[in-house]
Amino acid sequence: MTEAAAPIRTRGAAGTRWLGKLEGKISWILLGLAGLLLPLLDDSYIGTIATRAYIYWVLSAGLNLVVGYAGQIAIGWVSMLTLGAYTTAALAAGRVGPEWNSYLALLAGGAVGAVFGVVVGLPALRLRTFYFAMTTLGFATIVTQVALAWKDITGGGVGTPGPVFPWPFDPGWGFYYFCFILAALATWMTANIGSSRYGRALVAIRDAEVAAEASGIAKPKLLMLIFLLAGALGGVAGGLFSSLQSYITPDAFTFEMSVLFFIGILIGGRGSILGPLLGTIILTVLPEFAAPLVQWSTFLYAALLLVIVLVIPGGIADLLDYKNRRPLEQHREIVPRPELLPRVLDRPAAELLTLKNIALSFGGVRAIDGLDLEIRPGEVHGLIGPNGSGKTTTLNVISGYYAPQSGEVRLGGAVLPPSAAHLRANHRIARTFQTPRLIGGASVLDNVMIGGTIDGQGSFVESLVTLPRHRRDEAGLRAAAMLALQTVGLESLAAVRTDRLQHSELRFVEIARALMLRPACLLLDEPAAGLSTEEIRRLGALIKAISRAGTAVLLVEHHADLIFDICDHVTVLNLGKVLAAGTPAEIRSHREVVSAYLGA
Amino acid sequence: MFASIVSYGLAVGAVYALIGITYNVMFSASRVFSFTAGMLGMLGGVLGALFINKMGMNAVLALVAVLACGAVLGLVTEILTVRPVLKSIEQHLYVLSTLAFALMVQQVAAVEWGTEAQPFPVLIPIDPASLWGQIDQKFWLPVLACAVTIGGLEFLYRRTLIGRAFLAIAEDSYAARALGLPETRLRMASFALAGMIGALAGFTGAQMLLAYFGNQSILNFYGFVPVALGGMGSNRGALIGGLALGLFQQAANFLVGGIFAAVAVFVVFIIVLLLRPEGLAGAATARRV
Amino acid sequence: MPTSAPEPLLEVAGLSAGYGKIVVLRDVALTVGAGEAVALLGPNGAGKTTLLRAVSGLLPRTGQVKFAGRDMAGAGPGDTVRAGLVHVVEGHRVFTQLSVFDNLLLAGYGLPRPELTRQVEEALAFFPEIAAKRNDRAVTLSGGQQQMLAVAQGLVRRPKLLMLDEPSAGLSPVLVDRVLAAMVRLREAGTILLVEQLIEKALAASDRVYALARGSIVLQARTDEADLPNRLEHAYFGQDVSAPLAS
């Protein structure tokens, strides 16, 4: 990405971003002030409730990344609280060797939580949603059982005292401020991750996993980092909890608490920090206001969850999202600016993509039967054929979702590893999908920025505490994404929620996302489907310009007009084999092609 | 000791198998995994005790009433928590909606019925000294219920048109719709049927498991293990998985004690799932792209 | 066209349909008269399958569909089937774990049993090859036989109009001929709307033809008109043809 001219500022996106930042900040400032000034009320009952809310939020802030961002249904998370609480209490009380310093014991609680966070999270990589939810429930039960049985460490059913922190964080308002500071820290760190490329990658895995892979996002590593962080925060929260309770027994860690944490996040809304924070506070505080409610608290939580799922799946965050309730202009036109492409595609030498003797069968059907293909940089190569001829399958082999049973795919001279879709981004191979795969609940800009995830240099830890390299990454990604949006003509919609866009706009957003990779090779899967004639014409001009900027473009299409207008070279597939190949004019008059394509 | 492991293990295993079948019947009709299977089992016991002990019904009448309640709850589950979210693009909302409903019902049971486990009455007055009394009915009742259910389902699927309609919808709901099969009504019937099976499991198993609101969580998990191990939608797998689980659990109880038995079950469960996510008899996952 | 033409059996006007945000069909109109065999042709992605799904109620639609004089607004697939309009879907999707006979029984779900058995036998009479396998599970049938079973399913309700979506798709040439031979018999028995990719075979089996491309009807003609294959090719590739070309 060249450092050249600054991106053209448009009033729309820049103005909304400013407003968005301010809007967000106001809530945090108010909450922070409320927290700081609460002790002035000098009511220890309120102080205890508030402290408990902070502790629950420390755990929930981490769980929010797992449930709200990554979309993993981890219901039994009270297990982290239990683990952290008993670790801290046992170490501080000297049940394992000499008595530990309370702060060190707290850190140890966090470490144990981190380890088990990963342990609980590992199954998420292999199991379907419901199965994973069940394993977290099972794990929570196991932890409680072990707490009951391991009398030496945990005191068994009788329990064990929690640690007391020394001044200035001693019991009372001192401890209150300790928990407040940790809650604020947890909020800050998780908010940083949430708005970093890691947070966007998590949401991509949740809502558009296939597209996330194509953008180079590696699910296992990212999920493990998140489970580690969430486990650590849960463990720390557990240590604080054991101090607040001053004495813990296994039945203090109930299934109802798991439910509270989980539902607090969902009521707050996925993909948000403020929403789940408010949700957790509300659920913690609610039962305190009416004595009879305590008995019915879980019933209320569950009823709230049901209402949210059925009526407002987006939760509190959705309700607070005023920006996205402003009506959009009705008759919007997409006007791409191909002249910006040289700045977008500023990259080193172009490369040749070759397929040699690819064969792939599904069950007994030969989907691809000995295919040779050559896609040259600077050219648009069309791939057409009747349904079932193997066009999309070929695309999926090139982009690494299917491994061929024989043959190889090469870019430049290098062989591309067969089943490694998430590595294609490293080779600068980008693609779009037959049906647009975008994150409906995220903004257009965020969706495009996901395309550049692998360009980020900063590590997870740097994003956690917003070190300079993280900031540079973010600024660079943002600028590149705006440029890509300007190139496809959608910059005015940058801040809009993606599910509000028309279908044709979604197709162009996918192209903008693909451009973020500055692709050596661009694979387009029926990009014209559902577009009007004029939009197809503009799409064609854009695709042609992309190829002329040096990219090798493979275009799978049904639209005969588009193929014959812009392709330099056309290959016709039938029953998994090449039927004919040549210039559009040659193909157009090739008798066999016409028959096969029309079916005779 | 061996006899004890076998009798207790098979009995509780039969209950787990029935809950697994409950999950399967709901899944076949809708491709939805519902959290309400354990809830139905719990209510089988709690409502049964309520009808017999508090309201003085005889065993047969109570059974009928419990089955009816199960069917009604199954219908409510379908109408309230499954149908509204089936259309949504959001894939996993149904997990949450069924969870929410199950939790609500569990809390009502906890508040109205109480949180203490209460004994369940003996259902069939049999003289322990007689021939029939040799094996405690709390052991053979669940096994009998399991056998009857499996036999009943076989009959339903092979001999009745509605059973075959269930199989059709489970295999290919698009083709079923195109043929004009009343998809919604059939789904409702499936959920009502699942409700009855779950309630039966709880009713016949309650002499062992007692009438206890906490059974919901226990049955949710232990009733799910047979499904996970045996493959989704496979009743045969659920049967074998359930009985195996029951025996394994009891053996572990004897050998290493209750708490580590739970750990042992969980560890085996996780290992099997990680090695074969589709279960030991399940089918491979479909095309993603 | 004779002025005293009877009201068409199926009348579609202003039909638009799609999937989610993707609009596939725009303002489509067509008619099928009683006793006619009409072919619906078009390249991939044109919307042929979408059109059948919209008419039979499998997909939501805007626009008007009138069948046998009745307005089918809001009718789902169940209502449509009971009205006499049956859609045999693409891909010979039969219930593989059930027997041939059971597959046919399900096609008439809801009918009183004696009537149902009679109608199943009538449907089987069309396809003696699968009648011989009536108690075998559908999974043991070949692709062509499964396609015949799917069509037989469509016949169980004695439909007034049978819509067939690419019955020859994925079949070897020999099987294609067998299936299309059954079409000829079907044509004698009732009204058909046939979606096909194989132009020549489809033209041979029908009275009239519609060509669908890019979501709209681009050509309609009687199959005995001159120069039809040529005109179709032009229609597919985007040139507007409403009258025979001068060669």
pLDDT of B102 reads 94
Q: How far lies A353's CA from each of A375, A521, A554, C76, in Å?
A: 5, 7, 10, 48
Question: What's the pLDDT band for A545 if we cut at 50, 70, 90?
Answer: very high
**Looking at per-residue confidence, does A205 or A27 come out higher?**
A205
The backbone region for C158, taken as left when phi is positive above 0, alpha when psi lies in -120 to 50, beta otherwise, is left
Alpha-carbon gap, residue C158 to C81, rounded angstroms: 10
How far is the first Cα of chain B from the last one, in angstroms, to the nearest whole number?
54
pLDDT of A24 reads 63
Q: Do B178 and C105 touch (CB under 8 A)?
A: no
Interface test with A, best of C22, C40, C194, C234 (most A CBs within 10 A): C22
Give the 3-state secondary structure of residue A128.
coil
> Which chain C residues are within 8 Å of A526, Cβ to Cβ?
45
Q: Do A210 and B81 touch (CB under 8 A)?
A: no
Q: Do B95 and A73 touch (CB under 8 A)?
A: yes
Alpha-carbon gap, residue C76 to A35, rounded angstroms: 57
**C26 in contact with A, Cβ within 8 Å:** no
**Helices B93-113 and B37-49, packing angle to 10 deg:** 20
Residue A201: burial class (beta carbons within 10 Å; 0-12, 13-18, 19+) = buried
Alpha-carbon gap, residue B6 to B24, rounded angstroms: 26
Residue C8 has pLDDT above 90, yes or no: no
Question: What's the pLDDT band for B39 if we cut at 50, 70, 90?
Answer: very high
Q: What total of structural domains would you count in chain B?
A: 1
Residue C240 has pLDDT above 50, yes or no: no
Residue B185 lies in a domain: yes
What is this model's ipTM? 0.89
- Mean per-residue pLDDT over chain B, rounded: 87
| Closest B-chain CA to C104 | B179
Q: Do A310 and B97 touch (CB under 8 A)?
A: yes
Alpha-carbon gap, residue A79 to A88, rounded angstroms: 14
pLDDT of A324 reads 83
DSSP characters over C1-56: --TTPPPPSEEEEEEEEEETTEEEEEEEEEEE-TT-EEEEE--TTSSHHHHHHHHH
Q: Do A530 and C22 touch (CB under 8 A)?
A: yes
The first and second tokens of residue A278, run together, are: 């408010």
Interface test with B, best of A72, A119, A131, A312 (most B CBs within 10 A): A131
Residue B257 lies in a domain: no
pLDDT of A290 reads 67
Average pLDDT over residues A575-598: 79
pLDDT of C210 reads 92
Single out the residue of B171, B164, B172 nearest to residue B233, CA to CA. B171
pLDDT of A175 reads 92
Measure CB to CB from residue B289 to each of A145, A296, A401 and give the nearest one: A401
**Cα Rg of chain C (Å, integer):** 18
| Cα-based angle A418, A423, A424 (whole degrees, multiple of 5) | 80
Question: What's the pLDDT band for A11 if we cut at 50, 70, 90?
Answer: very low
Residue B89 has pLDDT above 90, yes or no: no
**Percent share of chain A, pLDDT over 90:** 54
Average pLDDT over residues A215-219: 93
Per-range mean pLDDT, top range of A343-352, A434-443, B85-94, C221-230 = A434-443
pLDDT of C51 reads 94
The first and second tokens of residue C166, run together, are: 């690419």
Residue B57 lies in a domain: yes
Q: Do A309 and B104 touch (CB under 8 A)?
A: no
Q: How far lies B7's CA from each of A523, B136, B138, B211, C16, in Å?
A: 62, 9, 10, 20, 64
**Looking at per-residue confidence, does B275 or B158 come out higher?**
B158
**Looking at per-residue confidence, does C227 or B64 come out higher?**
B64
Average pLDDT over residues A428-457: 93
- At the top level of CATH, the class of A338-442+520-598 is alpha beta
**Cα Rg of chain B (Å, integer):** 19
DSSP state of A99: P
Q: Do C78 and B180 touch (CB under 8 A)?
A: yes
Taking CB atoms and an 8 Å cut-off, how many pairs form between chains A and C?
Answer: 51
**Looking at per-residue confidence, does A148 or A513 come out higher?**
A513
Residue B240 lies in a domain: no
**C27 in contact with A, Cβ within 8 Å:** no
At B107-149, the pLDDT tens digits run 999 888 888 888 888 877 777 677 666 777 788 889 999 999 9
- Mean per-residue pLDDT over chain C, rounded: 85
Question: What's the pLDDT band for B279 if we cut at 50, 70, 90?
Answer: low
Question: What's the pLDDT band for A380 if we cut at 50, 70, 90?
Answer: very high
Measure CB to CB from residue A387 to each of C44, C233, C237 and give the nearest one: C44
- Mean per-residue pLDDT over chain A, rounded: 88
In chain A, where the domains are located: 55-258, 338-442+520-598
Q: Do B168 and C96 touch (CB under 8 A)?
A: no
Residue B24 has pLDDT above 60, yes or no: yes
Q: Which residue is listed with tokens 């940089």?
A: A377
Average pLDDT over residues A332-340: 90
At C82-124, the pLDDT tens digits run 999 999 998 889 999 999 999 999 999 999 999 999 999 988 9
pLDDT of B132 reads 64
| Closest C-chain CA to B157 | C98
pLDDT of A111 reads 96
HEC profile for chain B? CHHHHHHHHHHHHHHHHHHHHHHHHHHHHHCCCCCCHHHHHHHHHHHHHHHHHHCCCCHHHHHHHHHHHHHHHHHHHHHHHHHHHHCCCCCCHHHHHHHHHHHHHHHHHHHHHCCCCECCCCCCCCCCCCCHHHCCHHHHHHHHHHHHHHHHHHHHHHHCHHHHHHHHHHHCHHHHHHCCCCHHHHHHHHHHHHHHHHHHHHHHHHHHHCECCCHHHHHHHHHHHHHHHHCCCCHHHHHHHHHHHHHHHHHHHHHHCHHHHHHHHHHHHHHHHHHCCCCCCCCCCCCCC
pLDDT of A364 reads 72
Interface test with C, best of B179, B181, B187 (most C CBs within 10 A): B179
**A256: how many CB neighbours lie within 10 A of its CB?**
16
Question: What's the pLDDT band for B288 if we cut at 50, 70, 90?
Answer: very low
At B56-78, the pLDDT tens digits run 888 899 999 999 999 999 999 99
At A45-78, the pLDDT tens digits run 899 999 999 999 999 999 999 999 999 999 999 9
Q: What's the domain range around B52?
A: 11-213
pTM over 0.90: no
**Percent share of chain C, pLDDT over 70:** 93
**B155 in contact with A, Cβ within 8 Å:** no
Measure CB to CB from residue C77 to each of B89, B172, B177 and give the nearest one: B177
Alpha-carbon gap, residue C165 to C151, rounded angstroms: 10
**A392 in contact with C, Cβ within 8 Å:** no
CA–CA min distance B153, chain A (Å): 25
Question: What's the pLDDT band for A382 if we cut at 50, 70, 90?
Answer: very high
Average pLDDT over residues B257-268: 81
pLDDT of B277 reads 72
Q: Which residue is listed with tokens 């994973």?
A: A132
Residue A320 has pLDDT above 90, yes or no: no
